[in-house]
A and B are shown apart, each in its own frame.
Chain A
Amino acid sequence: MKYELLLPAGDLNRLKFACMYGADAVYIGGYDYSLRANANNFSIDDIKEAVTFAHSLNKKVYVTVNMIFHNEDLEKLDDYLISLDNIKVDAFIVSDFAVIEAIKRLKIKTPFFISTQKSITNLESIKFYKSLGAYRVVLARECTREDIKYIKENIDTELEVFIHGAMCTSYSGRCVMSNYVTLRDSNRGGCSQVCRFTFNNNTSHDYAFSSKDLNMIDYISDMMDLGIESYKIEGRMKSLYYIATVASVYRNIFDKKENNTLTQDDIEYSKKLLNRVSNRENIAQFYNGIPHEESQYFNGRQEVSNQDFLGLVLSYDESTNEALIEQRNKFSVGDTIEVFGPHTNTQKFNVEYIINSDNERVDSASHAQEIVKIKIPFKVEKNDILRVEIM
């Protein structure tokens, strides 16, 4: 069975990296109608380029049209869907019945998936959406293994599950705290993440109910054995480095699962990589039943910024073994650095020297996005990534 690894992308560049680093499909949002109204997002021209790029690599592009529409939002919906259909995106991810109505009325051939925003938790709900023509359903993140197994055994509709990334405290779509506390509409993409705020509650402790992230790495093999078709990573607001790392980690896991060579050592190493790139702790959340206090934070935001991303390879000269690097975080002569890429297995090297853009040898590359030249004793490629050594 072929399992789909589905990555997010907040802009065209990140989409390209998601594709290059192992995604089978990428989901994106346009300027309007998606649930990340404040991400960079994609213009119609961007989507066209994204589809051309992805299809050239035999990858798919799904476009989120999954906000909850108010009357005023309906006016341009038809034109938008027709444009996307003409571009030949591979699917729409929808939640509002108005979008389903438009797709059917306009006889649009592009398949549609039902968004996790609808919090689908049972077989009957999937049957309902299947009867409307839904090609795939994204299950609620609150589904347990038992829920998923029962559903999969009783219907042939494609299923998509989240396996990694941030979680709402609520069932998706059933929270308008953002509306009431900050006057920003959560169901139209303006969520201000009130569930990550801190509150007073007349005890000696501040009250918080923020969720830790989801990480299904320990159960990915089990999920695949259930026969789920698509495995989704959350994070359209996440960085290029995050996207590339998570894509490459799960690509490796998926390939080994398909080749029947996946080992516990692979899982443990993948966990290290994923934990380094995450800015919150993560657990399997609802897979084994309703989680308790271990699934939440109680002290407000506990997020750490990640400075593992050291640079991006712009080019490599095999005759001199020198690579041109765009710096992303500080590194110095003597540091041990890892390189990984779409065609480059993870390898390490020591930085012997750094030459800046004035052709001077320097001790460190310390300026963000400065271009430097370093020696790498093995072949690397454009768009490979340099990161700190993962022990």
Chain B
Amino acid sequence: MQEKKYLIIPNNKDLSLYEKYNLDSFVLPLEDYSIGFNVYYNIDEINELSKNYNIFVIMNKFLHLQINEFKKIYDKFNKNIKFIVEDIGLLNIIDKDRVILYENHILSNYKAINYLNSLDVKNVVINNDLTIKEIKEIKEKTNSNLYYFYIAKNIIMYSRRYLVSNFNNHFDIENDTNKYDIEEIVSHKVLEVKEEKDGSTVRYNKIFCASKYLNDLSDLNLIIDLTDINEISTKMILENINEENLYNLIDSDYYFLENDIKYKVGDLK
């Protein structure tokens, strides 16, 4: 077992590839209930893997009427499996001790976390756009079990629209891609738009990596999302997973860990 709790979202379906790095906890995107990942798993696969690994299922879609379908399949999952969920309605369905609430980039303060704790929602994913100072304050002032996207090409937008095929259809572009890298023409920042059958996600193309503050984050459950990270960087991450210097070894970005973000025009210098 690793000294620290790393939870891996794989970019390759064969989990045995990660065994040599002594990793045994995985976050598996559930087919049809999650979006924006490289690989998805069905219930049978998840149950089978849960015999050998610590398995968390991630469901990051808003479920609309589909939530009624989940009610029917929930009991089919092995009891040792936990669920990381975006749709708040799932809190009514999944047992409280098996659910981790993940409102992407939303849960950003200690009072909200403590209130959820009082509702028996004791496992939560905190926003990873917070500063390290904010994270430390949250740690000091909460007793919840905190999860944190420690390394990831962050999903920075989630839409129910078909943002690749709509563009292609509009311009009569014939290709079979479901993904575009788009560069904003002023800032030159690059975003990765990916379309799937239930909508689209946008990821930032630089890898958020909080390794510089690994010691400060050590008592959090650290999620490493390898989605859309190339083979070389994936290898670098896995080989140096316990190194504070990891952020220097990959094309990383940790701006928000060290900089407050403004929201009023008057605050911008």
* Residues in A lying within 8 Å of B, measured CB to CB: 37-38, 67-74, 96-98, 100-102, 118-129, 132, 140, 142-144, 146-147, 150, 169-171, 173-177, 179-185, 187-190, 194-195, 197-203, 205-209, 211, 286, 290-293, 295-296, 298
Q: How far is the CB of A195 from chain B (nearest CB, A)?
A: 8
Tell whether A176 pairs with B88 under 8 Å between CB atoms, given A142-B62, A171-B160, A296-B166.
Answer: no
Q: Which residues of A contact B96 (CB under 8 A)?
A: none
Tell whether A185 pairs with B261 under 8 Å between CB atoms, given A71-B138, A176-B157, A177-B191.
Answer: yes
Taking the complex as formed, is B170 at the interface, i.e. its CB lies under 8 A from any CB of chain A?
yes
Q: Report the bound CA distance from A176 to B105 in whole Å.
A: 8
Q: Report the bound CA distance from A190 to B166 in whole Å.
A: 28
Tell whether A184 pairs with B106 under 8 Å between CB atoms, given A128-B88, A189-B263, A202-B181.
Answer: no
CB atoms of A96 and B170 under 8 A apart: no
Tell whether A70 pairs with B111 under 8 Å between CB atoms, given A170-B157, A201-B183, A205-B171.
Answer: no
CB atoms of B92 and A128 under 8 A apart: yes
CB atoms of B129 and A98 under 8 A apart: no
A170: which of B118, B138, B158, B263 is its contact (CB, 8 Å)? Answer: B158
Q: Which residues of A contact B169 (CB under 8 A)?
A: 292-293
Q: Report the bound CA distance from A211 to B112 in whole Å.
A: 32
Q: Report the bound CA distance from A147 to B184 in whole Å.
A: 35
Other than A71-B138, A74-B109, A170-B158, give 9 A-B pairs with Cβ distance below 8 A: A68-B108, A69-B111, A70-B109, A180-B189, A187-B108, A200-B182, A202-B181, A205-B173, A209-B163
Q: How far is the CB of A292 from chain B (nearest CB, A)?
A: 6
* Residues in B lying within 8 Å of A, measured CB to CB: 62-65, 67, 87-93, 104-116, 118-119, 129-130, 134, 137-138, 154, 156-163, 165-167, 169-171, 173, 180-187, 189, 191, 193, 199, 202, 204, 256, 259, 261-265, 268
**Most interface-central of A71, A129, A173, A187 (chain B CB within 10 A):** A71
CB atoms of A171 and B92 under 8 A apart: no
Q: Which residues of B contact A195 (CB under 8 A)?
A: 157
Q: Which residues of B contact A203 (CB under 8 A)?
A: 171, 173, 180
CB atoms of A177 and B202 under 8 A apart: yes
Q: Report the bound CA distance from A169 to B204 in whole Å.
A: 16
Q: Report the bound CA distance from A171 to B115 in whole Å.
A: 24
CB atoms of A121 and B63 under 8 A apart: yes
Q: Which residues of B contact A205 (CB under 8 A)?
A: 167, 171, 173
Tell whether A122 pairs with B180 under 8 Å between CB atoms, given A169-B161, A184-B263.
Answer: no
CB atoms of B115 and A124 under 8 A apart: no
Q: Which residues of B contact A143 (CB under 8 A)?
A: 64
Q: Which residues of A contact B183 (CB under 8 A)?
A: 199-201
Q: Which residues of A contact B89 (CB under 8 A)?
A: 122-128
CB atoms of A184 and B105 under 8 A apart: no
Tell whether A180 pairs with B65 under 8 Å between CB atoms, given A70-B108, A199-B185, A298-B170.
Answer: no
Tell whether A175 pairs with B65 under 8 Å between CB atoms, given A96-B109, A125-B89, A184-B262.
Answer: no
Q: Report the bound CA distance from A98 to B111 in whole Å.
A: 5
Q: Report the bound CA distance from A206 to B160 in whole Å.
A: 22
Q: Could you give 28 example pairs across A and B, Cβ below 8 Å?
A: A38-B265, A69-B111, A71-B108, A73-B109, A98-B111, A101-B112, A101-B115, A121-B64, A122-B64, A124-B90, A142-B64, A143-B64, A169-B157, A169-B161, A170-B158, A170-B159, A174-B157, A177-B157, A183-B259, A188-B263, A190-B262, A190-B265, A201-B180, A205-B173, A290-B161, A292-B162, A292-B166, A293-B166
